[in-house]
Amino acid sequence: MKPAHTSPVIASLPGSKSDELLKAWEKYEAQTTTWQAPVVWQRASGVRVWDVDGREYLDWTSGVLVANVGHCHPRLVAVVQEAAAQLMNSYDFPTPSRIELARRMIDITPAHLDRCFFLTTGSEVVEAALRVAKRFTRGYETVSFFGGFHGRTYGALSAGGLQSPKKHYGPIAAGAIHVPFPYPYRSEMQGEEAIDWCLKLADQQIQASSTGSLAAVIVEPYLGAAGFIFPPEGFLKRVEQWAAEKGMLFILDEVQSSFGRTGRMFAMEWEDLRPQLACLAKGMGSGIPASCLLGQSDVMNAVGKGEMSSTCGGNPVSCAAALAVLDIIEEEDLVGNSYRMGERMKARLFEIQEASPYLGDVRGKGLVIGCEIVHDKKPKNRHRTWHGGLS
Ligand SMILES: Cc1ncc(COP(=O)(O)O)c(C=O)c1O
């Protein structure tokens, strides 16, 4: 195989086989998914993807922040094949892999998170977190952030702070309250000042909107879908404290940021956060659907027997895959690698930023790196608020 750096740049897409298949796809599948380059994927390995025309690509999306151990890691493939040959579904019956995965998840997360519950997708785990919070607090109001993305199911999209998942779908869930999230690159305020300002507005929003039935705050460690926007250091800890002062649970949506992506196993480790509930998905199965709600037992126990379950949640193949992913991450030091590669990449991107009139901002942790491309780097042209419009 040719070394990567000699791969030709593909000037025209799609290739002929992709073109043919894309026509059939457009005819038969509802065209509701996000826009993608016209490429029909055939296979993948590590960071590389090949299309049906045999063209090779570097996958900068990591299968949309999923392939944390790389695409089709041979060990993961072998484990999945073996697990699938043995047992594919057991619904709510426990299996050895499910029990072992629960033990491992509790082991690798902060000590106060001592119960977990398995589901299949990120949206599903966010719904479960909101459900548990409502059951525990007996409140129904949720506070979440401008620019946040928590999924496309009803509760999750109601908590989201971007317009596009909700637009055209009528009223969002009652009690969904949205407050500002700091956006350092686009704000004149920085650090503590920005944090104070956001929390002051959050106070005012609660004063104006809450009926006195607050249940939880849900927040991403960084705004993923809004453009990898990282808050100033200390913001998330302050949100955690603010939630406690208001009698709300603190839910951390680590659907995207977990399993090494930020250069720590979990993003909550960066600020020693203590969420009562944490949502994990995406990288958990590194391509095999798997998600997990982690919580404190006093909170999780608020939900009674038979109140929460999911057809494929905790299925034996997903659990075996998630266990293999944990082993691979540990044995190949992928968390350390994410940190080191991220630092290296940022250093190079900062050089490019210096030289480029259009690369306005480079930000991130580990291998979550956001680059903001702008028309004009002059500060006076970039200080716009949220209200200027992410959608
Ligand atoms: C932070 C966050 N939460 C929730 C979700 C929803 O996950 P899913 O698409 O698996 O339902 C996503 C997906 O991008 C996400 O990034």
Q: Quick: pLDDT tens for 287-334.
A: 999 999 999 999 999 999 999 999 999 999 999 999 999 999 999 999
Point out the ligand 1 atom lying closest to the alpha carbon of residue 126: 4
For ligand 1, the distance from its centroid to the CA atom of residue 302, given in whole angstroms, is 25
Tokens of 290: 């798997």
Beta strands in the chain (DSSP E): 41-45, 48-51, 56-58, 115-119, 141-145, 176-179, 214-219, 249-254, 277-280, 291-295, 359-365, 368-373
Q: What is the pLDDT of residue 385?
A: 52
Mapping DSSP onto H, E and C, the string for 150-190 reads CCCCHHHHHHCCCCCCCCCCCCCCCCEEEECCCCHHHCCCC
Give the long-range contacts of residues 121-124, CB within 8 A, separation 24 or more: 121/151, 121/281, 121/289, 121/291, 122/150, 122/151, 122/255, 122/256, 122/279, 122/281, 122/282, 122/291, 123/150, 123/151, 123/152, 123/153, 123/156, 124/151, 124/153, 124/291, 124/310, 124/313
Average pLDDT, the chain: 94
pLDDT reading at 3 higher than 70: no
Is residue 119 within 8 A of residue 293, CB to CB? The reply is: yes
Pocket of ligand 1 contains residue 122 by CB under 6 Å: yes
CATH of 76-331 given 3.90.950.10, 3.10.20.740, 3.20.20.70, 3.40.640.10: 3.40.640.10
Mean pLDDT of 217-225: 98
Pocket of ligand 1 contains residue 256 by CB under 6 Å: yes
Superfamily of domain 1-60: Aspartate Aminotransferase, domain 1 (3.90.1150.10)
Sheet holding 48-51, edge to edge: 41-45, 48-51, 56-58
Pocket of ligand 1 contains residue 260 by CB under 6 Å: no
Q: How confident is the model at residue 382 (pLDDT cuts 50, 70, 90)?
A: low
pLDDT in tens, 347-378: 999 999 999 999 999 999 999 999 999 988 87
pLDDT reading at 85 higher than 90: yes
CB atoms within 10 A of CB 334: 22
Point out the ligand 1 atom lying closest to the alpha carbon of residue 254: 1
CB atoms within 10 A of CB 271: 17
Specify burial of residue 9 (Cβ count, 10 A radius: 0-12, 13-18, 19+): exposed
Is residue 141 within 8 A of residue 215, CB to CB? The reply is: yes
Q: What is the pLDDT of residue 377?
A: 84
Is residue 371 within 8 A of residue 361, CB to CB? The reply is: yes
Pocket of ligand 1 contains residue 127 by CB under 6 Å: no
Return the percentage of the chain with pLDDT > 70, whole number: 94
pLDDT in tens, 92-146: 999 999 999 999 999 999 999 999 999 999 999 999 999 999 999 999 999 999 9
Point out the ligand 1 atom lying closest to the alpha carbon of residue 121: 10
Q: What is the pLDDT of residue 376?
A: 84
pLDDT reading at 1 higher than 70: no
Q: Whose CA is nearest to atom 4 of ligand 1?
A: 150
Mean pLDDT of 243-262: 98
Tokens of 356: 């480029």
Q: What is the pLDDT of residue 11?
A: 62
Q: Whose CA is nearest to atom 8 of ligand 1?
A: 122
Label the pairing between strands 141-145 and 214-219: parallel
Rg of the Cα atoms in the chain: 22
> Among candidates 287, 291, 231, which has minimal Cα distance to 255?
291
Pocket of ligand 1 contains residue 278 by CB under 6 Å: no
Point out the ligand 1 atom lying closest to the alpha carbon of residue 281: 10
Element (DSSP H or E) covering residue 80: helix 74-86
Pocket of ligand 1 contains residue 252 by CB under 6 Å: no
| 312: CB partners within 8 A, 6+ apart | 89, 120, 289, 318
Q: What is the pLDDT of residue 61?
A: 87
Point out the ligand 1 atom lying closest to the alpha carbon of residue 220: 1
Label the pairing between strands 291-295 and 115-119: antiparallel
Pocket of ligand 1 contains residue 149 by CB under 6 Å: yes
For ligand 1, the distance from its centroid to the CA atom of residue 6, given in whole angstroms, is 35
Is residue 259 within 8 A of residue 219, CB to CB? The reply is: no
DSSP secondary structure of 244-273: HHTT-EEEEEETTTTTTTTSSSSGGGGGT-
Q: What is the pLDDT of residue 388?
A: 38
Q: Whose CA is nearest to atom 2 of ligand 1?
A: 150
pLDDT in tens, 34-84: 889 999 999 999 999 999 999 999 999 898 999 999 999 999 999 999 999
Mean pLDDT of 3-23: 76
The DSSP call for residue 221 is: S
Is residue 281 within 8 A of residue 290, CB to CB? The reply is: yes
pLDDT reading at 22 higher than 90: yes
Delimit the domains of the chain by residue range: 1-60, 76-331
Point out the ligand 1 atom lying closest to the alpha carbon of residue 224: 16
Tokens of 253: 């949506």
Pocket of ligand 1 contains residue 121 by CB under 6 Å: yes
Give CA 146 to chain center in angstroms.
16
Q: What is the pLDDT of residue 386?
A: 52
Q: How confident is the model at residue 391 (pLDDT cuts 50, 70, 90)?
A: very low
For ligand 1, the distance from its centroid to the CA atom of residue 150, given in whole angstroms, is 5
pTM: 0.95
Is residue 256 within 8 A of residue 122, CB to CB? The reply is: yes
For ligand 1, the distance from its centroid to the CA atom of residue 224, given in whole angstroms, is 9
Q: Candidates 123, 127, 266: which one to mutate for ligand 1, based on the most atoms within 8 Å of Cβ?
A: 123
For ligand 1, the distance from its centroid to the CA atom of residue 378, given in whole angstroms, is 34
Pocket of ligand 1 contains residue 62 by CB under 6 Å: no
User: Where does residue 94 fall: left (phi above 0), alpha (psi -120 to 50 degrees), or beta otherwise?
Assistant: beta
pLDDT reading at 337 higher than 70: yes
Give CA 91 to chain center in angstroms.
26
Return the percentage of the chain with pLDDT > 90, whole number: 88
Pocket of ligand 1 contains residue 300 by CB under 6 Å: no
Pocket of ligand 1 contains residue 251 by CB under 6 Å: no
pLDDT reading at 7 higher than 70: no
